[in-house]
Chain A
Amino acid sequence: MPVSIHVRAVRTDRADIEGAVANAFAHLRRVDSVLSPWRTDSDLLRVRRGELDPAAAHPWLAEVALLAAEAEAATGGLFTSRLTGPDGSTGFDPTGLAKGWAVAGAAGHLQLVDRVAFCINAGGDLTVGVGRNLDGFASTWRIGIQDPADPMGIVDVVEVSSGAVATSGGSARGPHVVDPRTGLPVDRSGSVTVVGPDLLWADVWATASWVDEEQATRLMAHSHPAYRIIAHP
């Protein structure tokens, strides 16, 4: 998926900005190389194939496995990391939260830069934040929510200065989220957007809300009250 990094500053042609952007992408690539369900040489798939002892794998794998278990418990099983991959095999696949987790790590590089605001858009799910030594520097991003019925249209706008926005839906490309309780694709129109402090959890709750909005709303209020769900029919 396309991942874009957008940095706002009075001048963006600063070496520290370019360095931080490079480091942020380098981090994303490293995460991809460890956790990708599509790269046959990733630690994830090597463990799944039994070629790599989990204890010898990159420690990120264990970290996202813990987060995945936490997400599964928090959502009452609406979110799962046990998926069937592109190679047809079923197993641990943390893609649903690894992206948010990776973006948080990438954002860490931009948070060290003086007087900048930034947005990382990872395939339509995004994180917004600021650097340091802001000295009054502030920036708000107006995030359009894509119209689920028209990829070029928007149905809503949320303003974010710091935090995350994640959207799940069938959209025009059809169903792609499976209800872990039934194993069937969630086949309906519309989309669900979750806004909150952290992309990993916004993403997890967006997926959970797409599967079962009522249950997700109830559970989210319990475990992640700082997040809110915006549904678009």
Chain B
Amino acid sequence: MRRITVWVLSTITVVVLLFSYRTSTSSRAPGTVVASGTTGNGGAANADPGVGSASTAGASRTFTGDAVSTRYGPVQVQITVAGGKVTKSVVTQVPWSERRDQEINAQAVPVLNQEAVQAQSARIDMVSGATYTSDGYLRSLQSALDQAKL
């Protein structure tokens, strides 16, 4: 919840997978909306540029990406989709972290680190780091997204 100025601000957040691997069987463009969400005090609305699928509300479904071998071990990502959006992503195999079954439970990768950090009670808006582009993570995430036809 931000009170940066005299105004009470809302923040809109939209996330897209870009500049990343595509899966071998996918014929879709890799610019796929992963998730969008808002934080803040206001009644902010989502913007969903590029959502190609019908955003029909429905029961949530879970898709598990391919286990992708990396030199550090296997990476596998599982996503939960509801209403045409990813509501949750979980890394089920994480070679780059000692926390197995670590739940990355948020709207998207940059946001989730931010929230994890906030849970540590540091007031952070965003995170800069070198680990987001884990190839295995992205390839598994992409294959889960392809299965979900998002």
Contacts and interface: CB of A to CB of B under 8 A. Distances in A.
B20 A1 contact: yes
Contact of A143 (B10, B21, B22, B124): B124
Contacts of B14: 4-5, 21, 25
Nearest to A33: B29
Given A6-B13, A29-B31, A38 B20 contact: yes
A12 B125 contact: no
A166 interface: yes
Contacts of A145: 127-129
B17 A2 contact: yes
Interface string A133-169: 0001111111111101001111001000000011111
A7 B17 contact: no
A167 B130 contact: yes
Nearest to B71: A174
A139 B110 contact: no
Contact of B42 (A11, A39, A169, A191): A11
Contacts of A174: 71-72, 96
A78 B134 CA distance: 22
B113 interface: yes
Given A144-B114, A167-B129, A11 B44 contact: yes
Contact of A25 (B16, B102, B116, B122): B16
Interface stretch (A50-58, A66-74, A123-131): A123-131
Interface in B13-35: 13-22, 29-31, 34
Nearest to A3: B18
B131 A124 contact: yes
A13 B127 contact: no
Contact of A10 (B9, B111, B122, B125): B9
A28 B18 contact: yes
A121 interface: yes
Given A6-B13, A12-B11, A193 B125 contact: no
A119 interface: yes
Contacts of B97: 151-152, 172
Nearest to A26: B49
A146 B19 CA distance: 21
B29 to A, nearest CB: 7
A217 interface: no
Contact of A99 (B19, B44, B127): B19
A171 B130 CA distance: 6
B81 interface: no
Given A124-B110, A151-B96, A153-B120, A1 B49 contact: no
Contacts of A139: 4-5, 9
Interface of A: 1-13, 17-18, 21-22, 25-26, 28-29, 32-33, 36, 38-39, 86, 95, 98-99, 102, 117, 119, 121-126, 136-146, 148, 151-154, 157, 165-174, 191, 193
Given A8-B10, A124-B130, 13 more contacts: A25-B14, A29-B50, A33-B29, A38-B19, A38-B20, A39-B30, A122-B19, A136-B5, A137-B5, A142-B126, A143-B124, A144-B114, A167-B129
List of 6 A-B pairs having minimum Cβ-Cβ separation, nearest first: A146-B129, A22-B49, A13-B45, A144-B124, A18-B47, A12-B12
6 contacts: A5-B13, A119-B126, A144-B114, A144-B128, A151-B129, A173-B95
